[in-house]
């Protein structure tokens, strides 16, 4: 017990160190902890609510109704107690008077949903939809269509009465953000004549399977899935369906994870600095313990355990702070979630956080312990500065666990080896770039001969002489500023890309489900309005049967928490049908990145196989390359083609674009529907045209691109808000690191300060010297971080997003101003005690 008492009293005598260490560690860990809790809350919610979200235990879904053989396979595998209900979902335009809107139609049977509820006002049962030709609508449709309960809506070729408004729908999901939902019965949908060959529709059968465990449901899913030959048929349990629906949420949490990791890393820089000083001070104590009979290793272990205890305590504090900040994170995440996320804090997550915290603490402490272990006793007793001679390799090895932990956490947070590695490399690269910048600035500072005051001259000199502390403070702040700035920069670019001005080439309306026989009719309608149909593109549904004669493998369809995003994407792409198209020449939004564009027209007399051009990322996901022979199934007719090029597609053009393009003339006879766009229109013109098209050709669906962009911008804003909040936390960590460094610097230089006082330097000059130092660090850190964020956003926009780059100067300017003003204040707070050091104590030192 005396051992513990001694350890505790030692810490009490180093209160400032202990507090700064705790603050740095807990702040750094808080965002990481909050995110772990958020992920756990999401997982728990998925597990508890997924049945209600799906409305069933199990489901089968496809773009076509299952054929007899497929139905047989399903029935054969299902247990006897399974209850079934059919659902068809599609998109369509609906009109009421002069107004029209795109809606998501969900046609159900009276048994839907098996779980959860659709609460309506006035209160109705699903059977009501069966018995009457009526619909339930989402509340926003009342406004969009200027309608009331009891009014009639024209859907397809029929009129339906609005029987009720949906107040609560546990089966809502992210797709209802794109278009509000209407519920009707399956019979009603048939009467609308909306669902035709090639129409965009999803045929699902949902099952209630009582007394089946999760493992049994997963096993059933895999069983049926393997037996079905058609890739397009999706088989899912309630849990896998919910996980799939929340892809956007997953991406958000991936990025939040990166920022939290960055905060942690920045905090680690501060902790390293604090530890270095603390253990350096304790080296004499270690030597004394050694003299009293403790082995050096035991003495060092004593301090290691002490620090371990502080780290654990810091991790515990971070947990509490994380719980406090969790509601804000939840709110931000809710906008992209398919269901209400329930806050959940459990012991497993708690344990994981504490483990990460203490493991991370160990990695930080290790290099310093190596220093102590290998320092000769004479050096420890004299408290001399330690040298790196002869322990270079040991030190390098000591840093590896920390670097490895950071790398592994990056992969874990990104759920992707590729992206995690890129992040790690970028983080290290940014650090090196910033280090280079600081080296350059310090080299320039060394050359400055003139200074406006003595304090400024001393400040410049100290900055250039004490490079390690200068660079550490600079790096911590600059990285924090970089993260805080890059999020709004990227957001500004995304928004700028999406919200292009009216003179841009973005369409006003996007039409789909145009039947071949309707082309003339729609051309006529548009001609009367003096409007042209643009980018008219055929869409042919197909399945990929073979690649180079080998059957195309289905994805496993089974995701676990260990799946990477690449694996999830690949599996998803393997388990779907494809939309093929053909065109005589490339669209303006496409460029050939590999190979050569197919000749204009396919001539079956001269060529054996039509040429295919694939979108490059699509090809990459499915491991397809130039030269591959692909066999597609188009309504049971196999069609072969040869991949001769890969394309780069600018998806933000909102023009019809396809992953797979066949050579023009090769698929003329295939059954198809058409997509097209209409260029920028004034609002009234747009509404008028929409109404005319819907009245004449009710099966054609129309997306209002302007409204879609508004919704996307809103989503981006919401996601950006969450990312921004995390980034601000990052800069807060940067400030605590600066505070730690400032305080540490003063402590290390107490004697210097006392000496200056003894030599006759005024308190004002000494204070000014330190304030100047840290203000200069803050200013250049903010400048460097801001510039790096601009560069980062440029790279992101140009190379990753393939868009125009929009320069946002406000946030970087604010960062530079804010940090430059805040640094003097922080320095003053951090240095007060040190500056009060009595010069006379210099005389008592022996």
Residues lying near another protein in the complex (CB under 8 A): 385, 454, 457, 461-462, 465-466, 751-752, 755-763, 765, 838-840, 842-846
Cβ-based nearer residue to another protein, 519 or 839: 839
Going by C-alpha positions, the residue among 10, 67, 80 that lies closest to residue 543 is 67
Pairing of strands 611-615, 637-649: parallel
Two tokens at 85?
A: 């209900």
Q: For residues 495 and 804, is the Cβ–Cβ distance under 8 A?
A: no
Cβ-based nearer residue to another protein, 679 or 839: 839
Count of alpha carbons within 13 Å of 721, Cβ hemisphere only?
14
Cβ-based nearer residue to another protein, 334 or 761: 761
**Cβ of residue 764: shortest distance to another protein, in angstroms?**
9
Cβ-based nearer residue to another protein, 14 or 464: 464
**Cβ of residue 844: shortest distance to another protein, in angstroms?**
6
Cβ-based nearer residue to another protein, 462 or 664: 462
> Which residues, at least 6 apart from 527, have a Cβ–Cβ distance to it below 8 Å?
none
Place of tokens 């540490």: 744
Distances (CA, A) of 734 to 125, 334, 474: 57, 28, 9
Cα(35)–Cα(24) distance, integer angstroms: 18
Q: For residues 21 and 277, is the Cβ–Cβ distance under 8 A?
A: no
Cβ-based nearer residue to another protein, 426 or 451: 451
> Which residues, at least 6 apart from 699, have a Cβ–Cβ distance to it below 8 Å?
92, 156, 193, 194, 196, 199, 513, 515, 518
| DSSP result, 493-547 | HHHHHHS--TTSS--SEEEEEEEGGGHHHHHHHHHHTT--EEEEEEEEEEEEEEE
Q: For residues 336 and 174, is the Cβ–Cβ distance under 8 A?
A: yes
Cβ-based nearer residue to another protein, 449 or 623: 449
Cα(605)–Cα(640) distance, integer angstroms: 16
Cβ-based nearer residue to another protein, 297 or 467: 467
**Cβ of residue 468: shortest distance to another protein, in angstroms?**
11
Cβ-based nearer residue to another protein, 444 or 755: 755
Please state the φ and ψ torsions of residue 701, each to the nearest 5 degrees.
-100, 145
Peptide bond into 122 cis (omega under 30): yes
Q: For residues 427 and 463, is the Cβ–Cβ distance under 8 A?
A: no
Cβ-based nearer residue to another protein, 355 or 448: 448
| DSSP result, 22-70 | HHHHHHHHHHHHHHHHHHHHHHHHHHHHHHHHHTSSEEEEESS---HHH
Q: For residues 584 and 600, is the Cβ–Cβ distance under 8 A?
A: yes
Start-to-end C-alpha separation, the chain: 34
**Cβ of residue 384: shortest distance to another protein, in angstroms?**
8
Residue 159, SS3 per DSSP? strand
Cα(216)–Cα(79) distance, integer angstroms: 11
**Cβ of residue 462: shortest distance to another protein, in angstroms?**
7
The C-alpha torsion from 148 through 151 and 153 to 157, rounded to 10°, is: 180
| DSSP result, 556-600 | -----TT--HHHHHHHHHHTS-EEEEEESS--TTEEEEEE-PPPS
Cβ-based nearer residue to another protein, 320 or 751: 751
Cα(634)–Cα(261) distance, integer angstroms: 48
**Cβ of residue 469: shortest distance to another protein, in angstroms?**
11
> Which residues, at least 6 apart from 557, have a Cβ–Cβ distance to it below 8 Å?
221, 222, 225, 234, 235, 240, 571, 575
**Cβ of residue 267: shortest distance to another protein, in angstroms?**
27
Q: For residues 491 and 717, is the Cβ–Cβ distance under 8 A?
A: yes
**Cβ of residue 783: shortest distance to another protein, in angstroms?**
26
Query: What sign does the dihedral 726-732-736-738 (CA atoms) show?
Result: positive
**Cβ of residue 461: shortest distance to another protein, in angstroms?**
8
Residue 267: exposure state from Cβ atoms within 10 A (0-12, 13-18, ≥19):
buried
Two tokens at 39?
A: 């992920």
**Cβ of residue 745: shortest distance to another protein, in angstroms?**
12
Cβ-based nearer residue to another protein, 386 or 535: 386
**Cβ of residue 751: shortest distance to another protein, in angstroms?**
6
Going by C-alpha positions, the residue among 78, 77, 163 that lies closest to residue 123 is 163
User: Per this entry, what is the length of the chain?
Assistant: 846
**Cβ of residue 784: shortest distance to another protein, in angstroms?**
24
Cβ-based nearer residue to another protein, 462 or 568: 462
Cβ-based nearer residue to another protein, 83 or 457: 457
**Cβ of residue 464: shortest distance to another protein, in angstroms?**
9
Cα(575)–Cα(621) distance, integer angstroms: 12
Place of tokens 């005319």: 692
Cβ-based nearer residue to another protein, 385 or 549: 385
**Cβ of residue 836: shortest distance to another protein, in angstroms?**
12
Q: For residues 193 and 157, is the Cβ–Cβ distance under 8 A?
A: yes
Cβ-based nearer residue to another protein, 98 or 382: 382
Cβ-based nearer residue to another protein, 112 or 458: 458
**Cβ of residue 593: shortest distance to another protein, in angstroms?**
55
**Cβ of residue 371: shortest distance to another protein, in angstroms?**
18
Cβ-based nearer residue to another protein, 7 or 457: 457
**Cβ of residue 733: shortest distance to another protein, in angstroms?**
28
**Cβ of residue 385: shortest distance to another protein, in angstroms?**
7
């Amino acid at each position: 017990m005396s051992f513990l008492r001694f350890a505790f009293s030692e810490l009490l005598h180093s209160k400032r160190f202990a507090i700064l260490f705790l603050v740095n560690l807990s702040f750094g860990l808080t965002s990481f902890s909050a995110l772990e809790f958020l992920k756990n809350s999401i997982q728990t919610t998925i597990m508890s609510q997924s049945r209600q979200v799906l409305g069933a235990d199990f489901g089968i879904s496809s773009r076509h109704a299952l054929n007899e053989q497929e139905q047989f396979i399903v029935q054969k595998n299902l247990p006897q107690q399974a209850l079934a209900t059919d659902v068809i979902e599609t998109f369509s335009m609906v009109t009421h008077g002069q107004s029209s809107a795109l809606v998501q139609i969900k046609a159900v049977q009276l048994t839907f949903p098996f779980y959860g509820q659709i609460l309506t006002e006035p209160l109705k049962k699903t059977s009501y939809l069966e018995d009457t030709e009526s619909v339930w609508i989402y509340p926003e449709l009342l406004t969009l269509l200027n309608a009331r309960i009891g009014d009639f809506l024209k859907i397809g070729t029929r009129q339906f009465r609005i029987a009720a408004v949906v107040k609560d729908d546990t089966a809502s999901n992210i797709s209802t953000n794109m278009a509000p939902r209407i519920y009707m019965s399956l019979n009603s949908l048939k009467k609308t004549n909306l669902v035709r060959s090639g129409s965009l529709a999803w045929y699902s059968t949902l099952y209630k399977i009582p007394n089946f465990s999760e493992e049994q449901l997963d096993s059933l899913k895999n069983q049926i899935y393997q037996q079905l030959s058609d890739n397009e048929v999706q088989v899912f349990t309630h849990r896998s369906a919910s996980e799939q629906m929340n892809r956007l949420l997953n991406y958000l949490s991936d990025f939040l994870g990166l920022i939290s990791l960055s905060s942690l890393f920045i905090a680690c820089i501060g902790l390293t600095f604090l530890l270095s000083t603390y253990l350096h001070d304790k080296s004499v104590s270690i030597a004394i313990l050694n003299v009293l009979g403790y082995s050096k290793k035991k003495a060092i272990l004593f301090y290691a355990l002490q620090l371990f205890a502080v780290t654990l305590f810091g991790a515990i504090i971070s947990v509490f702070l994380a719980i406090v900040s969790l509601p804000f994170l939840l709110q931000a995440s809710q906008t992209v979630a398919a269901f209400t996320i329930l806050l959940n804090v459990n012991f497993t997550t708690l344990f994981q956080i504490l483990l990460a915290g203490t493991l991370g603490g160990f990695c930080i402490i290790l290099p310093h312990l190596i220093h102590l272990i290998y320092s000769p006793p004479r050096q420890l007793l004299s408290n001399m500065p330690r040298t790196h001679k002869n322990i270079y390799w040991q030190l390098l090895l000591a840093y590896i666990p920390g670097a490895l932990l950071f790398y592994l956490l990056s992969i874990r947070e990104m759920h992707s080896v590729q992206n995690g590695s890129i992040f790690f490399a970028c983080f290290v690269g940014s650090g090196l770039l910033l280090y280079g910048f600081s080296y350059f600035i310090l080299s320039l500072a060394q050359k400055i001969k003139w200074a406006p005051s003595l304090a400024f001259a001393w400040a410049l000199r100290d900055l250039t002489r004490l490079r390690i502390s200068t660079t550490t403070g600079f790096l911590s702040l600059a990285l924090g500023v970089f993260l805080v700035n890059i999020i709004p920069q990227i957001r500004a670019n995304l928004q700028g890309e999406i919200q292009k001005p009216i003179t841009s080439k973005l369409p006003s309306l996007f039409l789909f489900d145009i039947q071949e026989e309707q082309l003339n009719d729609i051309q006529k309608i548009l001609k009367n309005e003096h409007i042209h149909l643009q980018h008219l593109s055929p869409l042919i549904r197909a399945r990929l049967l073979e690649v180079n004669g080998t059957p195309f493998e289905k994805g496993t369809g089974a995701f676990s928490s260990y799946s990477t995003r690449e694996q999830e994407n690949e599996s998803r792409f393997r388990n779907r049908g494809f939309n093929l198209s053909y065109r005589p020449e490339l669209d303006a939004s496409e460029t050939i990145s590999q190979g050569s564009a197919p000749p204009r027209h396919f001539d079956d007399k001269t060529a054996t196989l039509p040429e295919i051009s694939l979108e490059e990322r699509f090809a990459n996901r499915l491991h397809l390359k130039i030269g591959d022979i692909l066999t597609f199934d188009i309504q049971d007719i196999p069609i072969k083609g040869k991949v001769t090029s890969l394309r780069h597609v600018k998806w933000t053009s909102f023009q019809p674009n396809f992953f797979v393009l066949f050579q023009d003339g090769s698929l003329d006879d295939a059954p198809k529907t058409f997509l097209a766009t209409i260029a920028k229109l004034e609002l009234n013109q747009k509404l008028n045209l929409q109404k005319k098209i819907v009245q004449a050709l009710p099966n054609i669906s129309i997306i209002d691109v302007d409204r879609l962009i508004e919704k996307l911008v809103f989503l981006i804003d919401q996601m950006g808000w969450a990312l921004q909040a995390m980034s601000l936390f990052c800069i807060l960590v940067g400030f605590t690191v600066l505070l730690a460094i400032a305080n540490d610097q003063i402590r290390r230089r107490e004697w210097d300060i006392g000496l200056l006082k003894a030599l006759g330097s005024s308190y004002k000059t000494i204070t000014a010297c330190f304030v100047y130092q840290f203000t200069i660090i803050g200013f250049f850190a903010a400048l460097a971080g801001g510039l790096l964020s601009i560069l980062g956003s440029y790279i992101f926009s140009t190379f990753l997003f393939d868009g125009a780059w929009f320069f946002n100067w406000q946030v970087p300017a604010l960062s530079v101003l804010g940090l430059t003003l805040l640094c003097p204040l922080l320095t003053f707070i951090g240095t007060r005690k040190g500056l009060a050091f009595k010069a006379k104590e210099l005389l008592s030192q022996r």
